[in-house]
Each structure stands twice: as C-alpha cells, then as structure tokens.
Amino acid sequence: MTELEIMQHAKDYLDKLAKGIDPLTGREVPEDDVINNVRISRCLFYVSDILRQVIENGGVIGTPTKKRALVPYALPYGERSRYTFGEWPLSASQVAQRLNELVDLSAMQKLKTTSITKFLLQSGLLFEEEAPSGNKNKRPTEAGWKLGISTQQRSGQNGDYTAVVYDQQAQQFILDNLDAIIAINATPLHENQGKPWEPEEDAYLRQAVQAGEDVKDMSAELKRTRAAVRARLKKLGLTQEGGKA
C-alpha cells in the first residue's frame, strides 16, 4: 500500500468517526460516546479536510512546489572522457543518449538528437533527400562516409528502415565538436515566436504552399510554431490544397 493509499484509508476512518460510525464495524456508535461530541466531530472533520488537501497535493504538505527550471545542457571537458564508444556503429539518438547519461537530467535539459544532426547538416556531412512519402531523410554525404558515417538496415515497430549510424571515428568527431552542438541545442526551437511577420516570410509561405510543403517544414524553416504558421496561412488566404497541414 502506497503512502497516498494509507492517507486515503486514514481519511475514510476519520470521516466515519466524525459521522458517529465505527469504521471497523460500520455501525453507529452509542449517543453518549465521546465521538458524538460536536467539538470532537468538528475536529475530526477538520483533520480529514487537511488530509484531503495533502492527498490532492500528491502527499506533499503545504503549497505545491514549482518545478525547478532546468539549466541548459553542458558537459565539462573533464567529463567527456567518460563517454563510452559503441562497439558497433551507433545512431545519433544512441550517441545523444550516452551523452545524456553523463549529466543529471533532473536538473539539466537533454541534449537533443536533432542538435547533433543539425550540426552535421551544417558541416556538410549529412544531407536531406526527399522520400516518395514526402518525408525528408538524412543521409551521409561523401565527406560523411569518409568520416565514418554510414547507413544500416534496421527493423522497428513500423517495419524495416534505413538508419544513419556513426562509427567510433564519427562519434569522436561529435565529441570534438560538442560545444558547437551544445550551442545549437540551446537555441530555442521557435526563436521567432511572437515576432512581427516579415514580407520575406510571407513570400516564403506562398512559395511553400505552391510547392506542397507541409506545415511542419514551414515551422522548422521559419522557427515559428505550427499554430502560428497555420494562423498566418489563414490570414494570407493561402489554402493547403497543394500541401499537408
């Protein structure tokens, strides 16, 4: 039985006692029993209500504490030697997971997989190719292959897929450039949120709709939320007939 369950059990007992009922037998206690004294009854109801508040507060006494804001991801140079290289090539998400295991995630933000792949795209080691489904898949460039970035066929919940993987040399390259990756990780995903819309952005939206791009790609390109992009499309009178919402 958990602490909350014990508290609820105790509250049930108090409620019955306050009503003049024996919680063990379910029978009313005699009229002359001290439990039926109005002052005792009020006291029991009062304590029961305190327990109710504690239970609703998750078992914490007092005002719910605000969740502490997480600090941006950081990994001191001295700690980076603790990174364990995979015996076999790892995916970007597996590399990110191993780097996240080196910090206290209860106080620190995670290093996102997308921060790693975005850096590699900017470095010319990955490129994006459009699949028949319209999704954009990342693939290693010639320079990426030389560095140790390759592809593997893997099986997942939705069937087989092609994964981009990184050997020890490529993982070392990620470690050597971790500061640049951390800087990308610290950049807000929607850094333009709330800013006035520029004519260049509206022009991009018109072209994107004509090209059949979806809102997800528009959001990433403009660094605005999908809701903001949809609202802007509606204001500009742009339909999504040629693209996906």
CB 178 within 8 A of CB 186: no
pLDDT tens digits, one per residue of 89-129: 999 999 999 999 999 998 998 998 989 999 999 999 999 88
**Residue 62 pLDDT class (50, 70, 90 cuts):** low
Average pLDDT of every residue of the chain: 85
In the chain, what are the domain boundaries? 3-56, 77-186, 189-245
- The answer to whether 70 touches 144, Cβ cutoff 8 Å, is no
Given pLDDT bands bounded at 50, 70 and 90, which one contains residue 50?
A: confident
Residue 18 · residue 48 · CB < 8 Å: yes
Residue with tokens 């108090």: 14
pLDDT band at 85 (very low <50, low <70, confident <90, very high): very high
Looking at the whole model, is its pTM more than 0.85? no
Instruction: Confirm if 140 and 164 have CB atoms less than 8 A apart.
Output: yes
Residue pLDDT, tens place only, 157-183? 667 888 999 999 999 999 999 999 999
